[in-house]
Structure 1
Amino acid sequence: MNTQPFTCLILGDQGQVAYELKRELATLGRVIAASRSTLPVAIDLAQHNDFESLIRQTKPNCIVNAAAYTAVDKAEQEPELAMRINAEAVAELAQAAAKANIPLIHYSTDYVFDGTAQQPYQEDQPTNPQGVYGQSKLAGEQAIAASGANHLILRTSWVYGTRGGNFLRTMRRLAREREELSVVADQTGCPTWSRHIAQATAQILIQLKRDPSLITEHSGIYHLVSSGQGSWHDFATAIIEHQRQQETIACQRIVPITTAQFPTPAKRPAYSVLNTDKLAETFGVRLPDWREALSQVNAELDQPHI
C-alpha cells in the first residue's frame, strides 16, 4: 500500500456515501469511482463483472465498496437481485481483491441483527437478520471473510445526508406539505451522517497507508455509527424543530406511532444501536453524537445552493 501515487478504487458513484468518499479520499491521492454510469470503468453489480481485469486496469492500493442494493422493502420482492448485488458480486470482488492482495473496505448494516438486544450490539454478537436486505448483507460479510482478502467490514446504520433519497430529506419535504406527520417511535438506532462515514474511512486509510501491516493484523468487522441513540420519531422531531426555525412549514404535529401502526413489507429491528468501542480502540475513530451531526447537515441544507 506504500506505492506512489496512492490510488483508491471506489465502487459506487451515485450513492450518498460514495459522493462523500470521493471528496474525502481525494486528499489521500488518486480516486477512481466505478459504477454503471462511469466510463471507461463501468461496473454493474447486478451483472457478472471481471473484477480482476478492473484491478489490473486501475492498479489501486485499496478498494472501497460503497455500492449496494439498499431498497429494504423492495428487496422482499426482489430477493435474487438483492442477493446478487449484496452477496454474490461482493464475493467476486473479495476474491479478486484477495488474489491481487489489495485491501477491501466494505460497508454493511445494523439490519444483520434481529433487534432483540437490550444493550448496544458488539461486533461478535450473533446475527439474525429479519428480512431479505439484512440477509443479503450478512451473506456479503461472510463471503468477504471466506475470501481470504485483507478487509474491514464497517457496519453502519440509518444513513442520511444532503444528497439522495434519505429520511432527513424526506422529512423536510413532508414538513412543508403536511400539517401532521406520523413517525414510528418504537424503533431505536443511530442516525449516521454519510460525510462522517467517509471521513472515518479516510482516517482509517491514512493509518493503513502509513502502516500497511495494520490491515492484516486488524481485518474484521467494525461498527461505524454516530454516538448516541434515538427513535425515528426523535430523529424527525429534531429535523423539523430546526426547520421550523428557518422557514415557514405546514407541519404542526409529529405524532409518535408504533411499528404495528405502520406495517412495511420488511421487518425492521426494534433496537439496532451499535457499540463502536472496537473501532475507537483499534483506529482511534469515534463519531460525534447524532444530534450534533444533524445540526451541521441542517445548516448545509439551509443554504440556498443545496
Structure 2
Amino acid sequence: MRVLITGCHGQVGHCFTEQLAKDENTTVLALDKEHLDITNQEAVQATVTEFQPTVIINAAAHTAVDKAEEEVELSYAINRDGPKYLALAAQSVGAAMLHISTDYVFEGNKVGEYVESDTTNPQGVYGESKLAGEFAVAAACDKHIILRTAWVFGENGNNFVKTMLRLGTTRDALSIVGDQFGGPTYAGDIAKALIQIATRITQGDAVEFGIYHFSGLPHVSWFEFADAIFDSAVKQDVIVKKPSLSSITTEQYSTPAKRPSNSRLSTDKITQAFSVEASDWKAALNNIQAYTG
C-alpha cells in the first residue's frame, strides 16, 4: 500500500502518520501545507504523478468554524478546491480517495441520529464549504470514501479536551453549553477506521464507495463531555481539583457561526460495511496526561 497523507500535522493527520509508520508493508508520503499546497492543482498533480499512491487520505481542512464566516474564499479553497484537485489526481493514477468531512453539513435540528442519506443543509460557511468538498470529491474520483465525523479531539492540535484542561488549571468555575449534543471522536480512532478501509480497498475486497459516518459513543452534551474530562483529569492527578461546572444554553454563549444543536451521527453503516465500531471516547481519556503537552 502506498499512501499519500495531506494535512499530516493536524489532529487526525498526525495519527495517520504515526499509525502507518508501524506498518512495514506501507510506504507513506506525509505532507503538510508547507510541502504541498492542496489548493495548487499543478503541484497536487505533480506530487501524485511522481509518488503513484494507491490511496490518498485528505486530512487537510480549514476547520476554524468562526473564522470561516470571514475567510470565505480561503475556506472554499481548502475545503472544496483542494479535495477536488486531490480527487482528480487520484482518479488519474487509479488511486482511492479517502476524505474527511463533518457533521456541519447538516442543519443540526433533527430528532435522533443523522444517517448518511439525510438531507444536508449547512448553516454556515464552514459547513457549506465542506459539503461542496464532498460533492467535488464524489464527482472527480470513482473510488472515494467520504467520512463525516464530529467533535474531534486528540493529543495534537487544538480541541475541546485541551481547552478544558487548560481552563481547569486556572479557573474554579466554568460555564459549558448543555443543549448541543454529539459524539466526541478520538482522532486516533478516525485514523484507525480509515486505515482499515484503505487496507480493504488495497486488498481488492468488494467495497461500497460513498459516504459513511464515524463518531463516538455514547452521545453527550458539551457539558457532559466536560464533566467526564474533569473526572478523568482528577482521577489521573492531572489537575488537583475539579472546577465547578454550570450548564448554559447556546443563546447564552454567542458565536459568529451557528453550531448544530444535534450532531449525533449514526455509525451503523460503517459498522455493517467494514466492522468499524464507533469511537470509544471514554477510553481515549484514560491517558489524559497526553493532552496536556
Q: Which whole-Å CA distance do the structure 2 matches of 1:288 and 1:76 have between them?
A: 30
Q: How many residues align?
A: 290
Q: Deviations over 1:278-297 (max 9, x none)?
A: 101111111243323333x4
Q: Which whole-Å CA distance do the structure 2 matches of 1:71 and 1:301 have between them?
A: 20
Give the secondary structure class of the aligned counterpart of 2:217: coil
1:301 to partner: Cα distance: 4.3
Are residues 1:112 and 2:105 paired? yes
1:262 corresponds to: 253
Kindly indicate whether the alpha-carbon contact (under 8 Å) linking 1:46 and 1:81 is maintained by their aligned counterparts in 2: no
Are residues 1:99 and 2:92 paired? yes
| Among 274, 298, 306, the residue aligned to 2:288 | 298
1:164 to partner: Cα distance: 1.3
Question: What are structure 1's unaligned runs of at least 5 residues?
Answer: 1-5
Kindly indicate whether the alpha-carbon contact (under 8 Å) linking 1:177 and 1:251 is maintained by their aligned counterparts in 2: no
Give the secondary structure class of the aligned counterpart of 2:95: coil
1:273 corresponds to: 264
Kindly indicate whether the alpha-carbon contact (under 8 Å) linking 1:193 and 1:294 is maintained by their aligned counterparts in 2: no
| Among 51, 60, 64, the residue aligned to 1:58 | 51
Q: Deviations over 1:20-46 (max 9, x none)?
A: 001212314111012223xxxx21235
Are residues 1:33 and 2:25 paired? no
1:149 corresponds to: 142
**CA pair 230-24 structure 1, distance change in 2 beyond 3 A:** same
* 120-129 or 21-30: bigger deviation: 21-30
Give the secondary structure class of the aligned counterpart of 1:214: coil
What is the one-letter code of the residue matched to 1:177? Answer: T
Kindly indicate whether the alpha-carbon contact (under 8 Å) linking 2:61 and 2:79 is maintained by their aligned counterparts in 1: yes
What is the one-letter code of the residue matched to 1:107? Answer: I
1:122 to partner: Cα distance: 0.4
Q: TM-score, normalised by structure 2?
A: 0.94
2:212 corresponds to: 222
Question: What are structure 2's unaligned runs of at least 5 residues?
Answer: none
1:283 corresponds to: 274
RMSD: 1.6
Are residues 1:136 and 2:126 paired? no
**CA pair 288-165 structure 1, distance change in 2 beyond 3 A:** closer
What is the one-letter code of the residue matched to 2:152? Answer: V
Q: TM-score, normalised by structure 1?
A: 0.90
Q: Which whole-Å CA distance do the structure 1 matches of 2:42 and 2:242 have between them?
A: 47
Are residues 1:19 and 2:14 paired? yes
* 192-201 or 286-295: bigger deviation: 286-295
| Among 203, 208, 212, the residue aligned to 2:201 | 208
Q: Percent identity?
A: 41
Kindly indicate whether the alpha-carbon contact (under 8 Å) linking 1:17 and 1:198 is maintained by their aligned counterparts in 2: yes
| Among 108, 118, 123, the residue aligned to 2:116 | 123
What is the one-letter code of the residue matched to 2:281? Answer: W
1:48 to partner: Cα distance: 4.6
Q: Deviations over 1:68-102 (max 9, x none)?
A: 00000000010110011000121122112112221
Kindly indicate whether the alpha-carbon contact (under 8 Å) linking 2:80 and 2:129 is maintained by their aligned counterparts in 1: yes
Give the secondary structure class of the aligned counterpart of 1:133: helix
1:3 corresponds to: none
Kindly indicate whether the alpha-carbon contact (under 8 Å) linking 1:43 and 1:49 is maintained by their aligned counterparts in 2: no
Q: Deviations over 1:132-161 (max 9, x none)?
A: 000000000001111143100001110001
1:49 to partner: Cα distance: 4.2
Q: Which whole-Å CA distance do the structure 2 matches of 1:136 and 1:172 have between them?
A: 31
| Among 2, 8, 14, the residue aligned to 1:7 | 2
Which consecutive aligned stretches of 4+ in structure 1 deviate over 6 angstroms post-superposition? none
Kindly indicate whether the alpha-carbon contact (under 8 Å) linking 1:157 and 1:191 is maintained by their aligned counterparts in 2: yes
* 105-114 or 52-61: bigger deviation: 52-61
Q: Which whole-Å CA distance do the structure 1 matches of 2:255 and 2:169 have between them?
A: 24
